[in-house]
Structure 1
Amino acid sequence: MLHEHKQTAPTQVSCAVITVSDTRNKETDKSGKLIKELLEKAGHHILNYEIVADERAAIQQAVRQAIEMGKVETVILNGGTGIAKRDVTIESAQPFLDKELPGFGELFRMLSYQLDIGSAAMLSRAIAGVANDRILFATPGSSGAVKLAMEKLILPELAHIVREIQKDLTS
């Protein structure tokens, strides 16, 4: 059954990429660039890319705009997912989620532990869920974390997830 689902999934997904950072700009945002490059290499479209400050109002405005854009099917945030006081991406994005996908965060932390940063993976609060009939991912901002999340979890299932979200929506 799963194989059939993947066969009927879209080949291209329209995406918004949001980097949460107080210090990065479009020239120095390695993680945002990496997300865009990996999405485009996989045949997906970037409809919106922006960098916002690690502040609740800025993050929520960017998420709200992205999930209300008519053609956006996927929103990927990176940065601001740690445990420092300024890390508010999770608290800012979570209220938009109609359904959470706890498996994403669980798998991300497991893979981070095994393949990347060892026990420091417990500090990651990466999440995913459905927001306004779009899939939303929030990953840490390091290039290693972004590469791992994109290559091992997001890209292999992105079209399948979008298909599942859209399969019973009426136009």
Structure 2
Amino acid sequence: MSQSTTEFVSLRIAVLTVSDTRTPDTDTSGALLVEKLSEAGHQLADRALLRDDIWQLREQVCRWVGEGDVQVILVTGGTGFTGRDSTPEALAPLFNKSVDGFGELFRQLSYSEIGTSTVQSRAVAGLADGVLICCLPGSTGACRTAWDGILASQLDSRFRPCNFVQHLRGGHGQRCG
């Protein structure tokens, strides 16, 4: 796809790492997302690291959505099948609209990297009150795949034929169709 010469819109993006084992010093996935969004010209609105607990995840995401300042929330971790993985269950009920194509495209892109193991990814995304929430696997490689293959272009107001910026609170982007 192409980009036009319309003005770039810097988005305010929060990053949430979901892990029972990582610390701020070992959170390579969250660090990669912060690096990527900053390099792209976006602003880090906030960053948090929480244990895999449905109620804590909902509380943090609801706080960011409710504050009205955050436009995108990138969540890494908790999307697998282990006993405590609960990110999709925690956050999908908050979506006003699901972005079904996000998980589908993520799995298509990751297939070339990890083969059929991609079926174990429960990556999901949705819109909640004008905030895009993307739930990614916890591996740094998966976060790189999602950013490079989907998020970099869909969070760029110049990307055509359309992008998510138009759907975000305060966003101005090209409408599809």
**After TM superposition, is the score higher than 0.5?**
yes
Residue among 125, 130, 139 paired with 2:127: 130
- Listed as ranges, the gaps of 5+ residues in structure 1 are none
Counterpart contact for 2:130–2:167, Cα < 8 Å: no
Distance 1:138 1:9 in 2: 28
Matched, 1:14 2:12: yes
RMSD: 1.8
Q: Which residue does the alignment assign to 1:74?
A: 72
Q: Which residue does the alignment assign to 1:29?
A: 27
Higher helix share: 1
Q: Which residue does the alignment assign to 1:119?
A: 116
Q: Which residue does the alignment assign to 2:101?
A: 103
Shift in Å, 1:163: 1.7
Distance 1:123 1:103 in 2: 16
Distance 2:5 2:166 in 1: 10
- Listed as ranges, the gaps of 5+ residues in structure 2 are 157-162, 173-177
Shift in Å, 1:162: 2.0
Return the TM-score normalized by structure 1: 0.90
Shift in Å, 1:8: 4.8
Describe the superposition over 1:42-82 as per-residue Cα deviations: whole angstroms up to 9, x where unpaired.
Answer: 00000100001101111111111111122110000000000
Q: Which residue does the alignment assign to 1:52?
A: 50
Distance 1:101 1:125 in 2: 13
Counterpart contact for 1:17–1:35, Cα < 8 Å: yes
Counterpart contact for 2:70–2:131, Cα < 8 Å: yes
> Is the partner of 1:120 in helix, strand or coil?
helix
Counterpart contact for 2:100–2:125, Cα < 8 Å: yes
Shift in Å, 1:135: 0.6
> Is the partner of 2:15 in helix, strand or coil?
strand
> Is the partner of 2:164 in helix, strand or coil?
helix
> Is the partner of 1:156 in helix, strand or coil?
helix
